[in-house]
Structure formats: C-alpha cells, structure tokens
Amino acid sequence: MDILKFDYLKTYETDLKQQLSVDKKYLPISKKLVVLLRDINPFLAEISDKHKKLNAEYLQKSININKTYAESIDNFQRSLKILIEKNHAEVEKSQKTKISQTHELNINFKSLLEQIEEKINQATQTSTDDLFKADVNSKRELAQIQKLMIEARKLYQETSTEIEDEKTDATNKLKEVYDQRMADLEEEIKRFEDDHALKISLIRTDTQKSTTENDDIYLDIKNNYSQLSIQFNKKINEIKKKHQQALTFIDKDNETRIKPILEAIENLKLSYQEAQKKALQNFSDRLTSLNVIFDVQKLAYESKKERIVHESNDAITLLNSKLSAFRETIQKEKLSISREMRDSMKSMEDEHEREKTNHQLTRALNNQDSELNKQIIRTNKDILNKQREMQQRIFNLDQQHLREINEWRLKKVLYEYEKKQEFAKIELNFHHNLSTSELQLKHQEAYYTYQKDLLLLNHNKDLLPLEFQLSIGASVQERELNLLGNDAHQAIAYFKHQEQMLEHELKKNQAYVQLERDKAKALFYADTQVLNISNQLELEMAKVKRDYALSEQELRIELNQALLKKSQTWIKNNLNQEVYVIESEREIIYIENKYALDLIKKEALAEQRKREFVVNEAKYKNQQRLSAEKASKLLKTYENELEFNQFQTEAFMDIMRMFHARNVSFRDAIIELYHLPSHPEVFKSVLTTLINLSKELLSSSIQMLEHFQSLDQEFYIKKIEDLTGYKYMLKHEDMMNLYEQEIAKINEKKEDIQKDIKALEEQFFSNQSELERNNLSINQLTKSGFEMKNNESKAETKHHDIKENLKQLSNHEHEIKRIKQNLARIEKSIDLKHASVSPLDLEIEKIVQKQKISESTLEKDKHQEASLFYKYLNQSQGVYQRYAMDLKIHFEEIIKFYDHLNHEVYVSDSFLDLELKSLSKNFLVFEKNTNTYQQTFLNLMLSFYHSNQQEQEILIKGFKKSTFSLIKSLNKNHETLLNNAHKDHKKREHDKNRQITVQKEKVKKKLELEKISYEKSVISDMSIIKVLETQIGENTDKQVQELKLLNENLQSSAQQYANEHEAKILALEEAYKKALAQIDTTMLNFTKNYLSLEEAIDNKNQVILTKYATSREKSLMLFNQKTEHYESQMIKAIDTNTERNKIHEITLKSMNQKRESDLKNIQFHLKRFTSTTRSSQNRELNKEIRVLKKSYNFRVKMLHLS
C-alpha cells in the first residue's frame, strides 16, 4: 500500500511562515502551525512503513499456509501414487501370467495343428500315388493314339504340297500374258503424252514472249514515274532544306531571347533569398541589441534596488545602534545615579531626608527614562523616514523600470511587425518581378510558336504544287499499270485455253488406254480366282480326310480321359471324405483354443477391474482429504487476511483521526492568534490560507478514503470469488463424478456389446470369405461347363465331365445355402446388438442433458449465493460512502467556521464563541461517527468470517456425503461387473459347446453330400463312355458325305466366276463412256469462261480510264482548296500575334500599378500599427503604474509609514 505524500503542505508552510513573520509575537503560533504541517507526511510515512512490515508478515504467513497445504497435498498424492503403483504392479503381474498361459496354450495348439496337418499330408500322399498310377496307364494309351495322328498329318502335308506346286505353275503362265498386254498399253500412253508435251512447249514459248514484252512495258512505265518522282523530290528536298534552315534560325533567335529572361528569373530568386537573409539578419541584430540594452537596464535596476534596500537597512541599523548606545548610556547613568543616591541614603539617618532623596532618585530615573523614550521616539521617526524614503526610491525606481520594460516591449513588437512588413515587401517585389519575367517568357514562347506556325504554313504552301504534280503522275502510272495488267491477264487466259484444249485431247486418249488396262486386269483376276478356288477345294478334301482321321483318334483320347477321370474321381472322393473329417477335428481344436484364450483374458480383465476399483476408491478418498485440507487452508488464509484487513481499517481510522487532530490544532491556533491580539490583516490572511488548506485536506482525505475503500472492496471480492469458486468447484466435481460414473457404466455396457458385435463380425467375415471361395469355385465350374458344351458340338464324349461338374456345383450350392443361413443369423444378431446400442446412446444423451441442466442450476445457485456475500461488500461500501459524506460535512463546517471569521470585519469574543460552539458540536459528532464506523467495519469483517466458516463446514460435510455415495456406487458397479463377467463366462461356454455341435453336424452333411455327388459322377462317367464309343462308329459315314459336298461346290464356283467377269467388262465400258462425256463438258465450260474473261477485261479498261479522269479533276480541286486554306491561316496567325502583343503590354502596365498600390498599403499599415501599438502600450504602462502605486500605498499602510 503506497499512501499519498502531500507535497502541497510545503507551500502552505511557507505561506504561513511568511504571513506570521511580520512580528515576533506570532513566532510561537507560526512554529506550532509549521510543526503541525510538517508532522503530517512523516505520520503517513510511518503508517506506510508499518503497513509494509505487516504486509511482509502477512505474505510470509500466506506462504507458510500454502507451504503446509502443498506438503499435505504432496503427502496425499504420494500415498495415492504408491497405491496406484502397487495396483499397476499387480495388473502387470496378472498380464504376465496371462501371457505365459497364452504362450503355453499356443504351444499346445500349435502341436495339435501340426498333428492335423500330418494326417492331411498322409491322406494327400496316398491319393497322389494312386492318381499317378492311373495317369501313367492313361499316358501309355495316349502315346499310341498320338502316333496314328502324326501319320495322318504327314499324309495331308504331302498331298497339299503337290496341289500348291500345280497352282504356282498355272499362276505364272497367267501372269506372263497379263504383263505383256500391260506393256503394250504403256507404250501407247507414252506416245500420246510425248505428242502432248511437244504442243504444250510451243504454246509456253509463245506465252514467254508475250510476258517478256509486257515486262518491258512495265519497266518503262515504272522508270518514267521514278524519274519524275526524283525530279519532284529534289525540288521538295530543297524546299524542306530551306524550311529547316529558317526553323533553325528561329530556334536560335528564340534561345537568344529566352536566355536573358531565364537568367533574370534565376538572379531574381537568388536576390530574393539574399534579401530575406539580409532582412532577417538586420532584424536579429536589432532585436539582439534591444535585448542587450534591456538586460543592462534590468541589471542596473536590480543593482539599484539592492543598493537602495542595503543603504536603507544600513541607515536603520545605524539608528538602532545609536539608540542602543544611548540606551546603554542612560542605563549606566541611571545605575551610577542610583548607586550614588542609595549610598548617600545609607549614610542618612533621617527618614524624611531619606524619602526626599528617594523622591529625587525616582525623579532622576524618570527623567532618564523620559530622555530614553524621547530618543526612542526620535529614532522610530527617523527609521520611518528612512523606510518611507526607501519605499519612495524603490517606487520611483520601479516606475522607471516599468517605463523601460514598456519601451522594450513596444520596440520588440514594432520590430516584429517591421520584420513582417519588410518580408512582405521583399515577397511582393519578388513575385512582381517573377510574374513579369514569366509573362515575358510566355510571350516569347507564344511568339516563337507563331513564327514556327507561319513558317510551316509557307512551307506547306510551297510544297502544294509539287505534291499536286506528283499525285497526277502517280494516277497516270496507276492507269498505265492497270491497263498493262489487264492485257497480260488476257494473254495468259488465251494461252491457258490452248493448253486446256491439248489437255482435253490427252485425257480422251488416257481414258481409252485405261479401259484396255481394266479389261486385262479383270480377265487376269477371273482366271486367278478360278485357279485359287479349285486348289482350295482340293486342299479342303485332303484336310477333311485328315480331320476325320484325327477326330477318330481324339474320340479315342476322350474315351481314355473319361476312364482316367472315373479313376481320379474315386480316388478324390476317398481323399475328400478323409480330409473333411480331419478339417472338422481342426475346427473343433480352434473353437476349444479360442474358449481357453477367452478364459485367460477374462481372468486378466477381472484382475484389472479389481485394481481399477481399488485405485478409484483411493482416488475418491484422496479427493475427500484434499478438499478438507483445502477448506482448512482457506480458513487459515482468510484469518490471516482478516487480521491484515483489520490493520488496514485501523490505519485508515488513524489517518482520519490524525486529520481531525490537525483540524482541532488549527482551530486552537486561530483562537490563540485572535487572543494574542493579532493584526486584522495577518488574521485574515492566515484564515484564508487555512480555508485553502482545509479544502486541500478534504480532497486528500477523500482520496485516502477512496484508496482504502478500493482495498476493502478488493478484499471482499477476492474472498467472495475464492469462497464461491471453491465451493461450487467442489459441487461441480461431485456432480461431474456422479454423471461420469453413470456414463462410464453405460459405456462399459456399450463396450461389451461392441465386443460381441466384433466377435459376430469376425464370424460374419469368416463365413463371407468362405462364401466368396464357394462362389469363385462355382464360377470356375460354370466356365469349365461352358467349355465342355462347346467341345460337345465337335465330340459328344464329354458327358461324364459335365456330370462331374454339375455334382461339384450342387455341393457348392448346398454349402453356399448353409453359409447364407449362418450369415443371415449372424447379421440378425449384429442388428439386434446395434439396436441395443441406440437406447444406450439415448441414455447417454439424456444424462449429458441432465448434466448441462445441473450445471446451469449450479451456476444460478452460485450467483444467488454470491449475491448474499455481495451484501457484505455493499454494506462495507455503504459505510465508506456514509463516512465520505460525514467527512465532507465535517470539513465544510471547518471551512464555514474559517470563512465566517474571515468575512467578519472585526471579530468579537461573543462571535468567536458562537462559531466555536457550532464547530465543537460538529467535532464531537464526527469523533462519535468515526468510532461507530470503525466498529461497523470490524463487525462486518467478523460476521463475514463466521459466514464463511459455516459455509466451509457445510461444504466439507456435503463433500464427505457425496464421496461416501460415490464409493458406494463404485462398489455396486464393481459387483455388477463381476456378475456380468460370470454371465459372460457361462455364455462363452455355451457358445463353445454349440459351435462344436454345429461343426460335427456340418461335417456329417458334407460327407453325405460328397457321397451323393460321387454316385452321380460315376453314373455320368459311364454314360459319357457309351456316347464316345457310338461317336467313333459314326465318324466314317460323315467323312464320305463331306467329300461329295466339296466336289459339287467346286463346279458351282467356276461357273459363278465366269458370269462375274462378263458383268465387270460391261461395267467398264459404261464407265468409259461417262468419263468421255464429262471431259467434253469440262472443255466446253472452260471455253465459255475464257470468252466471259475477255469481255470483263474490256470493261475493266474502260473503268480505269474513267477513274483516272475523275481523280485528276478531284486533285485539281483539292489543290485550289488547300492553297486558299494556307493563305487564310497565315492571315489569321498574323492578326493573333498582333492582338497578343497588345494584351502583353496592358498586363505589364496593370502589374506595375498593383505593385505600387501594395507598397503604399504596406507603408500605411506600418504607420497605423506603430501608432496603435504605442497607444495600447502606453495604456498598459499607465495600468501597471497604477498597480505599482496601489502596491506602494498598500506597503506604506501595512508598514505604518503614512
């Protein structure tokens, strides 16, 4: 707590000292008041130091309380940690036991599986040996069949080779005849093309001559126009050169004219800066000299004043010294006269003479005193004269100094204004000269632009005739070139027409030759096709003979395979039955092993839950101990804080009593000052100072009260937050533990259900995998069945394979049906389990909703209870507010008391007693209220402490009760878990027995299905063997019929190709006639296009001539218009330049007139400001002199010098 330090007390101490220093009789009161003021800050500092010391003790106690609390908490947590570690050790021990048991079980399980695998391997090996023997016998028979098939293929190869050789000889003869005919046709077409090329070369020679003549004419036209352009361009270049020279001359002349203007602007800116610096330096020098003179005058004034005071004090000291010397002389004379008289009186015996001498002594002494008094009066008069003279000299000196100050202020203001006006003049001249130069620059730029525009117009006017002649020449050139281009186009079109006629003749000859080629190709193709089909049918007959021989052997192979398959089916049937039995034994071992593992896990889980129960119970009990310890810590902390807050309240009351004691002392000092008696002016000035001091003390008291009020408020708010926060934290923890326990129970049920669902899902996925394997087997069997049916179209000896396939399909379908039933049952169980989860989720949601409602209710209770505690805070703040009102009333009464005394012209004893009576009554009331308020503060703290203590006891009881209920609920939950575990064990044992029974039934059904399937397969194999034997007998009859059919096909194919050849010849002749008609039509269209082109070229030539005449007339008209335009523009530019010159002269004249007017205005304002400032400064001087006179008269009156 940092208590304020009142720095303003020194000011009031100085003021009171100064007010009471006019006379020595005020010295005791002055010392008393100074001591009272000086003791306030040390008292506050002492309170602050004491507070800091107690605060340190308070903090140390708080640290000790928290340290003790932390040690207790640490001990509790350490005990809990040891318990938890022991339970964890037990859990780890049970886990190790579980792992060892599981390991032993897995070893036994593995050995049993190895035995099962050994049995399966023995059965598989026996079956493999039997299958191998059957396969060796089958392969021996197949080797004989393969030998016969190779001989049949070799015979077919020799026959097909002979047929291919005959075909090759006949094809070569046809090829020779066809090649000779095609060579004759190629020679004929070559002759036609050579004639066509010769004629084309002659036509192209004529075309080249015509093109050369046109090129020569084109070059003549271009050369003539180029010569004309060169002549005109030379003239144009000469004109442009002259224009460029004139333009250069104008640029140089413009630069010559502009350069002085720009230099003048730069010089003007430099001179403007120089003038500003010069004026500023001049003003600074004048102001510095003025300040130096004034400082000299001020020093002279102070030295003169000190000298006058010193001389006066010396004179007064001299007079006082003289008076002291005279007083000592008188005292010595009185002493000597008294001694002489008393010595003479001692020698006198007559009483009457003695009395007479005594009267003479008294008279002499009185005369001496009278002389001393006269000397004192004279000395006082001389001192008054000296003081009066001193005051008069000081007054005259002050008056003179005021005049000097006034003169200094006046000159300073005038210098400032003169500086401002001087800068205004410089600025005005600068801007005028700058504007003039810029105007001249703009005028010169406009004149330069005018000269360039005029020169450009003359230049364009000079170029206009040459441009006209050039445009006419370009039009003539364009006319001649267009006419020449049209003539060239016409010649080229003529030559192309001649070439097209030759092309027409060539195409007709080529079409005839192409017709002969196509006929030769058609004949060659028809003969080749007949030869090919004859050879192909002969090959097909040889192939049929080979295929039937091979087919018979393949049927014998199938018969061999059917017999082999029958043996394999019998062997596999024996193997499958044995494997089914062994697999069933393995499944039963799996079930029993899983049951044993579940038992081990159950025992480990039971041990873990038991340890969790022990740990949770220890945690709840530890929480109860922690809460009790925390409540004890809160009470100790609050007791410590209460003691500290009590000291703060007592310190506040001590400060208030100190202020009250100072007010009483100030009142007594005023009464003592009144009874002194004191001078009225001194009395009034002290009263005024005490009124101001009382106001400051009131403000300081209110600040102090607000400071302690805020400390008290912080204390109550902190305690309310601590209490309600801790209390409702405990309630919240209690409530959360209850709801979490309920949710934990439901979650455990959900976990059990999820475990069941997981086990069912594992069964479901296992059955699903088995179902997929069966479906895959069915797909493979279906695919092989399709393949068998396709082979059946070639050889009907595969019935036993199809029956075997159907038997396996039937077995797999029965297995799939059983698996689907299991899947449906498992899926239904999973759905039921999932359905049982939803109510649990709803129950959790309800519990969470209840938890939220309870939390909101708890929060409302917290706010409601906090409002009860806030009542103490409001009561405390109300006491502070009432005390602040009483404090203001108390100080207002004091200020009112001083104010009444201050406003009374002459204070009487009765008036003072009346005011004192009222003030004393207020003091008594304030003292009584202060004691009452202090007791109220202490009672509130004590009541608040008892309320908190009761709340803590209620909290501890409630938490103990809730902890007991939690432990009870925990025990009940643990018992429930044990019961559920026992039920789960019974259920698992029942499931194990049920699964073993189901597995045995499953194997039994599989063996029955396998037996039925084997019997069906045997019947199917026997029927397939009979079918194959029948097919071997029917194979020879089919071979004879197929050879007869192939011979008939050969004859019909030869006749068909002959008819197709005749039809193709007729089609080629028709196509030749159509091609000739199309060639003639194309030539006729080309001739028509050539004639229309000649007509169009004649029309174009006429248009070109008309366009040239029109263009020449337009160019002439445009030439005349441009000439007139240039002349009018030149006249307009000259007029504009003349008008611009006139405006420039007028602008310069008006700018000069404006500058003269502004300078006069500045001079006028300077004179007016000087006069006005001097008048106002004189008025200020007169006012200050009047104040000085009043001060002088007041000092004279105060010092009684009048």
Contact 638, 947 (CB under 8 A): no
What is the C-alpha separation between 899 and 5, in angstroms, rounded? 27
Which pairs count as long-range contacts for 122-125, CB under 8 Å and 24+ apart, including other chains? Answer: 123/575, 123/578, 123/579, 123/582, 124/575, 124/579
* Cα torsion 471, 476, 482, 484: sign: negative
Distance of alpha carbon 734 from the chain centroid: 42
What is the C-alpha separation between 48 and 42, in angstroms, rounded? 10
Q: Is 906 helix (H, G, I), strand (E, B) or coil?
A: coil
What is the C-alpha separation between 769 and 604, in angstroms, rounded? 32
Q: How many angstroms separate the Cα of 690 from the Cα of each of 341, 469, 925?
A: 57, 117, 22
Give me the phi and psi of 675, to 5 degrees please: -80, 0
Q: Is 1112 helix (H, G, I), strand (E, B) or coil?
A: helix
Residue 836 has pLDDT above 60, yes or no: yes
What is the C-alpha separation between 121 and 123, in angstroms, rounded? 5
Contact 577, 1007 (CB under 8 A): yes
What is the C-alpha separation between 232 and 236, in angstroms, rounded? 6
Q: Write the DSSP symbol of residue 1003.
A: H
Confidence of residue 1130 (pLDDT cuts 50, 70, 90): confident
- φ/ψ bin of 1200: left (φ > 0), alpha (ψ from -120 to 50), beta (otherwise): left
Q: Which residue, chain included where needed, has tokens 């007479």?
A: 356
What is the C-alpha separation between 942 and 936, in angstroms, rounded? 10
Q: How many angstroms separate the Cα of 483 from the Cα of each of 215, 493, 1099, 1105?
A: 13, 15, 11, 9
22 is written with which tokens? 């006019």
pLDDT in tens, 293-343: 888 988 998 899 889 888 888 888 888 888 888 888 888 888 888 778 777
Contact 849, 743 (CB under 8 A): no
Confidence of residue 792 (pLDDT cuts 50, 70, 90): very low
Average pLDDT over residues 590-594: 74
Identify the pLDDT of residue 696: 83
Taking each helix axis as running N to C, give the angle between helix 351-674 and helix 909-1198, from 0 to 180 degrees, rounded to the nearest 10.
Answer: 100
Give me the phi and psi of 7, to 5 degrees please: -75, -20
pLDDT in tens, 1119-1128: 788 888 878 8
pTM: 0.36
Q: Write the DSSP symbol of residue 22.
A: G
pLDDT in tens, 349-392: 777 777 788 788 888 888 888 888 888 888 888 888 888 888 88
Contact 677, 871 (CB under 8 A): no
Identify the pLDDT of residue 788: 64
H or E segment to which residue 313 belongs: helix 40-347
What is the C-alpha separation between 356 and 358, in angstroms, rounded? 5
Burial class of 797 by CB neighbour count within 10 A (0 to 12, 13 to 18, 19+): buried
Worst-scoring range by mean pLDDT, 114-118, 166-170, 420-424, 850-854?
850-854
H or E segment to which residue 466 belongs: helix 351-674
Contact 764, 826 (CB under 8 A): yes
846 is written with which tokens? 């309800």
Worst-scoring range by mean pLDDT, 128-132, 499-503, 565-569, 973-977?
973-977
Q: Write the DSSP symbol of residue 621.
A: H
Q: How many angstroms separate the Cα of 382 from the Cα of each of 319, 557, 737, 1141?
A: 8, 174, 104, 92
Worst-scoring range by mean pLDDT, 530-534, 811-815, 856-860, 901-905?
856-860
H or E segment to which residue 837 belongs: helix 799-903
What residue segments make up the domains of the chain, in order of their start? 739-861
Identify the pLDDT of residue 797: 44
Strand ranges inside 664-806, DSSP E: none
* Closest among 484, 561, 593 to 218, alpha carbons compared: 484
Residue 796 has pLDDT above 70, yes or no: no
- Cα angle, residue 1010 at apex, residues 1006 and 1013 outer, rounded to 5°: 140
Other C-beta atoms lying within 10 Å of the C-beta of residue 537:
18
Residue 977 has pLDDT above 70, yes or no: no
Residue 580 has pLDDT above 80, yes or no: no
What is the C-alpha separation between 589 and 110, in angstroms, rounded? 10
Rg (CA), the chain: 71
Q: Please count the CA atoms within 13 angstroms of the CA of 415 that sit on its side-chain side.
A: 19
What is the C-alpha separation between 556 and 554, in angstroms, rounded? 5
